[in-house]
Structure 1
Amino acid sequence: MKMMTNLFSVFDPSTTILNWSLNWTSSILGLIIMPTLFWILPNRLYFIWMNILMKLNQEFKTLLGIKNYKISMIFTSLFLFIMFNNLLGLFPYIFTSSSHMNFTLTLALPLWISFMIYGWINNTNHMFTHLVPQGTPNVLMPFMVCIETISNIIRPGTLAIRLAANMIAGHLLLTLLGNTGSSLMPIMISFLLLTQILLLMLEFAVSIIQAYVFSILSTLYSSEV
Protein backbone atom coordinates (compact mmCIF):
# COMPACT_ATOMS: atom_id res chain seq x y z
CA MET A 1 0.00 0.00 0.00
CA LYS A 2 2.87 2.34 0.85
CA MET A 3 4.51 1.59 -2.50
CA MET A 4 1.31 2.46 -4.39
CA THR A 5 0.98 5.71 -2.41
CA ASN A 6 4.52 6.73 -3.34
CA LEU A 7 3.93 5.75 -6.97
CA PHE A 8 0.87 7.95 -7.43
CA SER A 9 2.20 10.79 -5.27
CA VAL A 10 3.75 12.37 -8.39
CA PHE A 11 0.22 13.33 -9.46
CA ASP A 12 -0.69 15.03 -6.17
CA PRO A 13 -1.11 18.84 -6.26
CA SER A 14 1.13 19.38 -3.23
CA THR A 15 2.57 22.87 -3.83
CA THR A 16 0.47 25.24 -1.74
CA ILE A 17 0.50 28.78 -0.38
CA LEU A 18 -2.16 29.64 2.21
CA ASN A 19 -3.88 26.30 1.44
CA TRP A 20 -4.28 27.28 -2.22
CA SER A 21 -2.77 24.84 -4.69
CA LEU A 22 -0.28 26.53 -7.00
CA ASN A 23 -0.08 23.53 -9.31
CA TRP A 24 -3.52 24.28 -10.76
CA THR A 25 -2.14 27.52 -12.21
CA SER A 26 -0.59 25.33 -14.91
CA SER A 27 -4.07 25.19 -16.47
CA ILE A 28 -3.67 28.76 -17.76
CA LEU A 29 -0.09 28.42 -19.04
CA GLY A 30 -1.50 27.63 -22.48
CA LEU A 31 -2.31 31.34 -22.87
CA ILE A 32 1.42 31.98 -23.17
CA ILE A 33 1.65 29.76 -26.25
CA MET A 34 -1.28 31.36 -28.05
CA PRO A 35 -0.21 34.09 -30.52
CA THR A 36 -1.02 37.62 -29.51
CA LEU A 37 -3.67 38.09 -32.18
CA PHE A 38 -5.03 41.41 -30.94
CA TRP A 39 -1.88 43.53 -30.62
CA ILE A 40 0.50 42.43 -33.41
CA LEU A 41 0.41 42.61 -37.17
CA PRO A 42 -0.58 39.43 -39.02
CA ASN A 43 2.37 37.07 -39.48
CA ARG A 44 2.98 33.42 -40.35
CA LEU A 45 2.14 32.20 -36.86
CA TYR A 46 -1.11 34.14 -37.00
CA PHE A 47 -2.14 32.60 -40.35
CA ILE A 48 -1.20 29.07 -39.21
CA TRP A 49 -3.20 29.57 -36.02
CA MET A 50 -6.24 30.89 -37.86
CA ASN A 51 -6.14 28.01 -40.38
CA ILE A 52 -6.14 25.50 -37.52
CA LEU A 53 -9.06 27.27 -35.86
CA MET A 54 -11.06 27.39 -39.08
CA LYS A 55 -10.49 23.69 -39.77
CA LEU A 56 -11.60 22.76 -36.26
CA ASN A 57 -14.57 25.08 -36.44
CA GLN A 58 -15.65 23.55 -39.75
CA GLU A 59 -15.40 20.06 -38.24
CA PHE A 60 -17.65 20.96 -35.32
CA LYS A 61 -20.08 22.81 -37.60
CA THR A 62 -20.57 19.63 -39.62
CA LEU A 63 -21.53 17.68 -36.49
CA LEU A 64 -23.79 20.39 -35.07
CA GLY A 65 -25.75 20.99 -38.25
CA ILE A 66 -26.94 24.17 -39.90
CA LYS A 67 -29.18 25.32 -37.04
CA ASN A 68 -26.58 25.18 -34.26
CA TYR A 69 -23.38 26.04 -36.11
CA LYS A 70 -22.96 29.30 -34.15
CA ILE A 71 -21.91 27.48 -30.95
CA SER A 72 -19.11 25.57 -32.69
CA MET A 73 -16.51 28.04 -31.37
CA ILE A 74 -17.32 26.87 -27.83
CA PHE A 75 -16.14 23.36 -28.64
CA THR A 76 -13.14 24.70 -30.59
CA SER A 77 -12.09 26.64 -27.49
CA LEU A 78 -12.69 23.55 -25.36
CA PHE A 79 -10.44 21.49 -27.62
CA LEU A 80 -7.63 24.04 -27.49
CA PHE A 81 -7.89 24.43 -23.72
CA ILE A 82 -7.65 20.68 -23.08
CA MET A 83 -4.92 20.20 -25.68
CA PHE A 84 -2.73 22.91 -24.15
CA ASN A 85 -3.11 21.39 -20.69
CA ASN A 86 -2.28 17.91 -21.99
CA LEU A 87 0.79 19.07 -23.90
CA LEU A 88 2.14 21.25 -21.10
CA GLY A 89 1.98 18.26 -18.77
CA LEU A 90 4.67 16.59 -20.89
CA PHE A 91 7.23 19.18 -19.83
CA PRO A 92 9.26 18.52 -16.67
CA TYR A 93 8.06 20.09 -13.42
CA ILE A 94 4.74 21.24 -14.89
CA PHE A 95 1.64 19.93 -13.16
CA THR A 96 -0.72 17.98 -15.44
CA SER A 97 -4.14 19.25 -14.41
CA SER A 98 -5.98 17.17 -17.03
CA SER A 99 -4.88 13.96 -15.30
CA HIS A 100 -7.14 14.73 -12.32
CA MET A 101 -10.86 14.09 -12.03
CA ASN A 102 -11.29 17.50 -10.39
CA PHE A 103 -10.34 19.11 -13.70
CA THR A 104 -12.00 16.74 -16.18
CA LEU A 105 -15.27 16.42 -14.28
CA THR A 106 -15.43 20.19 -13.89
CA LEU A 107 -15.41 20.43 -17.69
CA ALA A 108 -17.74 17.52 -18.44
CA LEU A 109 -20.45 17.94 -15.78
CA PRO A 110 -21.50 21.57 -16.51
CA LEU A 111 -21.65 20.81 -20.24
CA TRP A 112 -23.85 17.75 -19.70
CA ILE A 113 -26.14 19.54 -17.23
CA SER A 114 -26.60 22.47 -19.61
CA PHE A 115 -27.41 20.09 -22.49
CA MET A 116 -29.99 18.26 -20.36
CA ILE A 117 -31.65 21.43 -19.08
CA TYR A 118 -31.87 22.90 -22.58
CA GLY A 119 -33.13 19.65 -24.11
CA TRP A 120 -35.82 18.86 -21.54
CA ILE A 121 -37.13 22.43 -21.50
CA ASN A 122 -37.14 23.19 -25.23
CA ASN A 123 -37.34 19.74 -26.88
CA THR A 124 -39.20 17.60 -24.37
CA ASN A 125 -40.88 15.33 -26.90
CA HIS A 126 -37.61 14.75 -28.71
CA MET A 127 -35.88 13.83 -25.44
CA PHE A 128 -38.60 11.28 -24.65
CA THR A 129 -38.47 9.72 -28.11
CA HIS A 130 -34.69 9.54 -27.90
CA LEU A 131 -35.03 7.11 -24.98
CA VAL A 132 -36.46 4.46 -27.32
CA PRO A 133 -34.45 3.78 -30.51
CA GLN A 134 -36.45 3.49 -33.71
CA GLY A 135 -37.60 -0.04 -34.52
CA THR A 136 -37.43 -1.33 -30.94
CA PRO A 137 -39.97 -4.13 -30.26
CA ASN A 138 -42.73 -3.28 -27.77
CA VAL A 139 -41.55 -5.97 -25.35
CA LEU A 140 -38.07 -4.44 -25.10
CA MET A 141 -39.16 -0.81 -24.77
CA PRO A 142 -39.09 -0.67 -20.91
CA PHE A 143 -35.60 -2.19 -20.89
CA MET A 144 -34.38 0.19 -23.60
CA VAL A 145 -35.65 3.18 -21.62
CA CYS A 146 -33.67 2.01 -18.56
CA ILE A 147 -30.55 1.35 -20.63
CA GLU A 148 -30.72 4.68 -22.48
CA THR A 149 -31.37 6.58 -19.24
CA ILE A 150 -28.37 4.99 -17.50
CA SER A 151 -26.11 5.56 -20.52
CA ASN A 152 -27.19 9.19 -20.59
CA ILE A 153 -26.54 9.71 -16.87
CA ILE A 154 -23.02 8.26 -16.95
CA ARG A 155 -21.91 10.37 -19.92
CA PRO A 156 -20.11 13.10 -17.91
CA GLY A 157 -18.37 10.41 -15.86
CA THR A 158 -17.15 8.54 -18.93
CA LEU A 159 -15.90 11.77 -20.51
CA ALA A 160 -13.99 12.71 -17.36
CA ILE A 161 -12.58 9.24 -16.68
CA ARG A 162 -11.51 8.69 -20.30
CA LEU A 163 -9.44 11.87 -20.38
CA ALA A 164 -7.94 11.50 -16.89
CA ALA A 165 -7.15 7.79 -17.27
CA ASN A 166 -5.38 8.24 -20.61
CA MET A 167 -3.24 11.07 -19.28
CA ILE A 168 -2.38 9.23 -16.05
CA ALA A 169 -1.48 6.00 -17.87
CA GLY A 170 1.11 7.58 -20.14
CA HIS A 171 2.66 9.77 -17.45
CA LEU A 172 2.80 6.85 -15.03
CA LEU A 173 4.58 4.68 -17.58
CA LEU A 174 7.13 7.42 -18.28
CA THR A 175 7.69 7.88 -14.54
CA LEU A 176 8.17 4.16 -13.93
CA LEU A 177 10.70 3.81 -16.75
CA GLY A 178 12.52 6.95 -15.67
CA ASN A 179 12.90 5.71 -12.09
CA THR A 180 14.63 2.54 -13.30
CA GLY A 181 17.45 4.46 -15.01
CA SER A 182 19.64 4.67 -11.91
CA SER A 183 19.75 0.88 -11.55
CA LEU A 184 20.57 0.04 -15.18
CA MET A 185 23.90 -0.60 -16.80
CA PRO A 186 25.31 2.19 -19.01
CA ILE A 187 24.61 0.15 -22.15
CA MET A 188 20.94 -0.24 -21.25
CA ILE A 189 20.47 3.46 -20.55
CA SER A 190 20.64 4.23 -24.28
CA PHE A 191 17.77 1.81 -24.91
CA LEU A 192 15.86 3.40 -22.04
CA LEU A 193 16.32 6.86 -23.56
CA LEU A 194 15.12 5.61 -26.95
CA THR A 195 12.07 4.04 -25.30
CA GLN A 196 11.35 7.23 -23.40
CA ILE A 197 11.55 9.31 -26.58
CA LEU A 198 9.17 6.97 -28.40
CA LEU A 199 6.75 7.04 -25.46
CA LEU A 200 6.97 10.81 -25.37
CA MET A 201 6.03 10.96 -29.05
CA LEU A 202 3.12 8.63 -28.32
CA GLU A 203 2.01 10.81 -25.42
CA PHE A 204 2.19 13.87 -27.66
CA ALA A 205 -0.24 12.20 -30.07
CA VAL A 206 -2.47 10.95 -27.23
CA SER A 207 -2.67 14.48 -25.79
CA ILE A 208 -4.08 15.84 -29.04
CA ILE A 209 -6.31 12.83 -29.71
CA GLN A 210 -7.87 12.86 -26.25
CA ALA A 211 -8.63 16.58 -26.48
CA TYR A 212 -10.25 15.93 -29.87
CA VAL A 213 -12.26 12.95 -28.53
CA PHE A 214 -13.52 14.96 -25.54
CA SER A 215 -14.61 17.85 -27.77
CA ILE A 216 -16.17 15.65 -30.45
CA LEU A 217 -18.19 13.63 -27.92
CA SER A 218 -19.36 16.85 -26.25
CA THR A 219 -20.43 18.11 -29.68
CA LEU A 220 -22.33 14.91 -30.42
CA TYR A 221 -24.10 15.05 -27.06
CA SER A 222 -25.14 18.64 -27.73
CA SER A 223 -26.41 17.80 -31.22
CA GLU A 224 -28.77 15.19 -29.75
CA VAL A 225 -30.72 17.81 -27.79
Structure 2
Amino acid sequence: MWGPDTQLQEHAQQYAAAHDGRHPYTDAWPWAESIVAWHAQHSGRSPRMPHLEPDERALVVAGIAESLRLEMARGHALGDIALYQLRDELLTWLWVGKEFPSPGEVGWPAPSGPHADQWQALMDLVRADPARGRIITRAVRETLRDLCNYAAHRPHLPGAAYRELMDHRFRTRNYDVVSLAEVAPTLDLPAPVADPDWYEGVVGLVTEQAA
Protein backbone atom coordinates (compact mmCIF):
# COMPACT_ATOMS: atom_id res chain seq x y z
CA MET A 1 0.00 0.00 0.00
CA TRP A 2 1.33 3.42 -0.97
CA GLY A 3 2.16 5.69 1.95
CA PRO A 4 3.87 9.09 1.76
CA ASP A 5 5.71 8.59 5.06
CA THR A 6 7.94 5.82 3.71
CA GLN A 7 7.53 5.52 -0.04
CA LEU A 8 9.98 8.13 -1.28
CA GLN A 9 12.92 6.88 0.76
CA GLU A 10 12.23 3.23 0.05
CA HIS A 11 11.85 3.88 -3.66
CA ALA A 12 15.08 5.92 -3.77
CA GLN A 13 16.97 3.06 -2.14
CA GLN A 14 15.52 0.46 -4.47
CA TYR A 15 16.09 2.65 -7.52
CA ALA A 16 19.70 3.35 -6.59
CA ALA A 17 20.34 -0.37 -6.14
CA ALA A 18 19.13 -1.03 -9.70
CA HIS A 19 20.70 2.04 -11.35
CA ASP A 20 24.36 2.19 -10.32
CA GLY A 21 23.65 4.19 -7.18
CA ARG A 22 21.77 7.04 -8.89
CA HIS A 23 18.91 8.78 -7.17
CA PRO A 24 15.67 8.86 -9.22
CA TYR A 25 15.79 12.67 -9.17
CA THR A 26 19.09 12.49 -11.06
CA ASP A 27 17.51 10.50 -13.89
CA ALA A 28 14.42 12.73 -13.90
CA TRP A 29 16.50 15.87 -14.43
CA PRO A 30 17.28 15.50 -18.18
CA TRP A 31 13.57 14.97 -18.83
CA ALA A 32 12.69 18.09 -16.89
CA GLU A 33 15.27 20.13 -18.79
CA SER A 34 13.97 18.85 -22.12
CA ILE A 35 10.36 19.57 -21.18
CA VAL A 36 11.18 23.15 -20.15
CA ALA A 37 13.24 23.66 -23.33
CA TRP A 38 10.35 22.33 -25.42
CA HIS A 39 7.96 24.68 -23.68
CA ALA A 40 10.23 27.67 -24.24
CA GLN A 41 9.84 27.09 -27.96
CA HIS A 42 6.04 27.16 -27.56
CA SER A 43 5.76 29.87 -24.93
CA GLY A 44 2.53 31.19 -26.37
CA ARG A 45 0.64 27.97 -25.71
CA SER A 46 -0.84 28.69 -22.28
CA PRO A 47 -2.40 32.05 -21.39
CA ARG A 48 -2.24 30.92 -17.76
CA MET A 49 1.56 30.66 -17.73
CA PRO A 50 2.87 33.18 -15.18
CA HIS A 51 5.68 35.60 -15.87
CA LEU A 52 9.02 34.25 -14.70
CA GLU A 53 12.29 35.99 -14.03
CA PRO A 54 15.26 34.61 -16.02
CA ASP A 55 16.79 32.87 -13.00
CA GLU A 56 13.51 31.13 -12.16
CA ARG A 57 13.69 28.78 -15.15
CA ALA A 58 15.97 26.50 -13.13
CA LEU A 59 13.35 26.36 -10.37
CA VAL A 60 10.73 25.22 -12.88
CA VAL A 61 13.12 22.50 -14.08
CA ALA A 62 13.61 21.48 -10.44
CA GLY A 63 9.85 21.38 -9.91
CA ILE A 64 9.23 19.22 -12.97
CA ALA A 65 12.05 16.87 -11.97
CA GLU A 66 10.47 16.56 -8.55
CA SER A 67 7.07 15.88 -10.12
CA LEU A 68 8.67 13.05 -12.05
CA ARG A 69 10.42 11.72 -8.94
CA LEU A 70 7.14 11.71 -7.00
CA GLU A 71 5.38 9.81 -9.77
CA MET A 72 8.25 7.33 -10.10
CA ALA A 73 7.88 6.56 -6.40
CA ARG A 74 4.36 5.31 -7.12
CA GLY A 75 5.96 2.47 -9.05
CA HIS A 76 6.02 3.92 -12.57
CA ALA A 77 8.95 3.68 -14.95
CA LEU A 78 9.79 7.15 -16.25
CA GLY A 79 8.33 6.56 -19.69
CA ASP A 80 5.13 5.04 -18.31
CA ILE A 81 4.13 8.08 -16.24
CA ALA A 82 0.67 9.27 -17.23
CA LEU A 83 0.85 12.93 -18.22
CA TYR A 84 -2.57 13.81 -16.80
CA GLN A 85 -1.34 12.65 -13.38
CA LEU A 86 2.09 14.24 -13.68
CA ARG A 87 0.80 17.77 -14.23
CA ASP A 88 -0.76 18.06 -10.75
CA GLU A 89 1.73 16.07 -8.69
CA LEU A 90 3.82 18.92 -7.26
CA LEU A 91 0.73 21.06 -6.65
CA THR A 92 -0.85 18.24 -4.68
CA TRP A 93 2.19 17.58 -2.51
CA LEU A 94 3.01 21.22 -1.80
CA TRP A 95 -0.34 22.97 -1.55
CA VAL A 96 -3.48 20.87 -2.01
CA GLY A 97 -3.04 17.41 -0.51
CA LYS A 98 -4.00 16.78 3.10
CA GLU A 99 -1.54 15.32 5.60
CA PHE A 100 1.37 15.26 3.17
CA PRO A 101 4.86 15.68 4.65
CA SER A 102 6.76 18.92 4.14
CA PRO A 103 9.88 19.04 1.98
CA GLY A 104 12.88 17.87 3.96
CA GLU A 105 10.89 15.81 6.43
CA VAL A 106 11.30 12.06 6.76
CA GLY A 107 8.35 11.44 4.48
CA TRP A 108 9.64 13.84 1.83
CA PRO A 109 13.43 13.56 1.91
CA ALA A 110 15.69 15.72 -0.21
CA PRO A 111 17.27 13.93 -3.16
CA SER A 112 20.95 13.19 -3.38
CA GLY A 113 23.07 13.59 -6.47
CA PRO A 114 24.24 16.41 -8.76
CA HIS A 115 20.94 18.33 -8.75
CA ALA A 116 20.19 18.27 -5.04
CA ASP A 117 21.10 21.96 -4.71
CA GLN A 118 18.47 22.94 -7.28
CA TRP A 119 15.85 20.94 -5.38
CA GLN A 120 16.88 22.69 -2.17
CA ALA A 121 16.70 26.12 -3.82
CA LEU A 122 13.13 25.43 -4.89
CA MET A 123 12.05 24.24 -1.48
CA ASP A 124 13.83 27.14 0.26
CA LEU A 125 11.83 29.53 -1.92
CA VAL A 126 8.58 27.74 -1.08
CA ARG A 127 9.31 28.18 2.64
CA ALA A 128 10.66 31.73 2.49
CA ASP A 129 8.23 33.20 -0.03
CA PRO A 130 5.07 31.08 -0.35
CA ALA A 131 3.49 33.50 -2.82
CA ARG A 132 6.44 33.15 -5.19
CA GLY A 133 6.55 29.43 -4.52
CA ARG A 134 2.96 29.15 -5.71
CA ILE A 135 3.86 31.01 -8.90
CA ILE A 136 6.69 28.57 -9.61
CA THR A 137 4.33 25.67 -8.89
CA ARG A 138 1.80 27.16 -11.30
CA ALA A 139 4.52 27.46 -13.96
CA VAL A 140 5.36 23.79 -13.42
CA ARG A 141 1.72 22.83 -13.76
CA GLU A 142 1.09 24.92 -16.86
CA THR A 143 4.22 23.60 -18.57
CA LEU A 144 3.10 20.04 -17.90
CA ARG A 145 -0.49 20.85 -18.87
CA ASP A 146 0.72 22.09 -22.25
CA LEU A 147 2.79 18.94 -22.70
CA CYS A 148 -0.24 16.85 -21.79
CA ASN A 149 -2.43 18.71 -24.30
CA TYR A 150 0.21 18.32 -26.99
CA ALA A 151 0.56 14.60 -26.26
CA ALA A 152 -3.21 14.09 -26.45
CA HIS A 153 -2.98 14.68 -30.22
CA ARG A 154 -0.67 11.62 -30.45
CA PRO A 155 1.89 13.53 -32.59
CA HIS A 156 4.08 10.46 -33.13
CA LEU A 157 1.29 8.00 -33.92
CA PRO A 158 0.08 8.14 -37.54
CA GLY A 159 -3.48 6.99 -38.19
CA ALA A 160 -2.94 3.32 -38.96
CA ALA A 161 -0.42 2.88 -36.16
CA TYR A 162 -2.79 4.62 -33.74
CA ARG A 163 -5.63 2.24 -34.55
CA GLU A 164 -3.37 -0.79 -34.21
CA LEU A 165 -1.95 0.39 -30.91
CA MET A 166 -5.39 1.14 -29.46
CA ASP A 167 -6.56 -2.30 -30.50
CA HIS A 168 -3.55 -3.85 -28.77
CA ARG A 169 -4.00 -1.82 -25.60
CA PHE A 170 -7.69 -2.49 -25.17
CA ARG A 171 -7.29 -6.13 -26.11
CA THR A 172 -4.50 -6.72 -23.57
CA ARG A 173 -5.39 -4.35 -20.68
CA ASN A 174 -8.72 -2.76 -21.61
CA TYR A 175 -7.54 0.81 -21.20
CA ASP A 176 -5.42 3.52 -22.82
CA VAL A 177 -3.39 6.33 -21.29
CA VAL A 178 -1.12 9.00 -22.77
CA SER A 179 2.25 8.63 -21.11
CA LEU A 180 5.59 10.39 -21.20
CA ALA A 181 7.12 7.90 -23.62
CA GLU A 182 4.71 9.02 -26.34
CA VAL A 183 6.35 12.46 -26.45
CA ALA A 184 9.89 11.18 -25.89
CA PRO A 185 10.65 11.60 -29.63
CA THR A 186 9.85 15.32 -29.29
CA LEU A 187 12.10 15.54 -26.23
CA ASP A 188 14.81 13.51 -28.00
CA LEU A 189 15.27 11.06 -25.13
CA PRO A 190 15.13 7.27 -24.89
CA ALA A 191 12.30 6.20 -22.59
CA PRO A 192 12.59 3.57 -19.85
CA VAL A 193 9.33 1.59 -19.93
CA ALA A 194 8.05 -1.59 -18.34
CA ASP A 195 6.60 -3.01 -21.58
CA PRO A 196 8.00 -1.82 -24.92
CA ASP A 197 5.14 -3.53 -26.78
CA TRP A 198 2.77 -1.03 -25.16
CA TYR A 199 4.30 1.61 -27.47
CA GLU A 200 4.52 -0.35 -30.71
CA GLY A 201 4.10 2.04 -33.64
CA VAL A 202 5.16 5.28 -31.91
CA VAL A 203 7.37 6.89 -34.56
CA GLY A 204 10.86 7.84 -33.43
CA LEU A 205 10.52 6.34 -29.96
CA VAL A 206 13.53 4.54 -28.52
CA THR A 207 12.53 2.45 -25.52
CA GLU A 208 14.68 0.97 -22.80
CA GLN A 209 13.56 -1.88 -20.60
CA ALA A 210 13.09 -0.35 -17.16
CA ALA A 211 15.14 -1.94 -14.39
TM-score (norm 1): 0.28
Between Structure 1 and Structure 2, which shows a larger proportion of helix residues? 1
TM-score (norm 2): 0.30
